[in-house]
Amino acid sequence: MKRQDVLKRTPRYQSHIVGCWQEHSVHAGRETKVWRFSLQNPRTNQRRGFATLEALLISLQAELDKSIENG
């Protein structure tokens, strides 16, 4: 079997660290609690923050799609 054939079949993966924390804020005398999120690439140490879980998932999906396109 040729080396390039083995490489084509080798699964690719990405690792990410997801951080989640709760923030408290007060508006018009009412306390609210919201979740915030971060996504860090441990290989590059790039870290991005997100106000919602949905925003984090959309960003992660876009990054994975980009990786697929770049083959």
Q: Judge whether 8 lies within some domain.
A: no
pLDDT in tens, 18-27: 999 999 988 8
pLDDT given for residue 13 in this prediction: 81
Does the structure show a pLDDT above 80 at 45? Answer: yes
Q: Judge whether 54 lies within some domain.
A: yes
Question: What is the domain extent for residue 54?
Answer: 16-69
Q: What is residue 47's three-state secondary structure?
A: strand
Number of domains in the chain: 1
Q: Judge whether 9 lies within some domain.
A: no
Q: Judge whether 50 lies within some domain.
A: yes
Q: Judge whether 1 lies within some domain.
A: no
Q: Judge whether 48 lies within some domain.
A: yes
Average of per-residue pLDDT across 54-58: 97
* Res. 35 pLDDT band, cuts 50 70 90: very high
- With contact defined as beta carbons under 8 Å apart, do 36 and 18 qualify? no
Q: How far apart are CA 19 and CA 39, in angstroms?
A: 6
pLDDT given for residue 56 in this prediction: 97
Q: Judge whether 60 lies within some domain.
A: yes
Structure token digits, residue 3: 């080396």
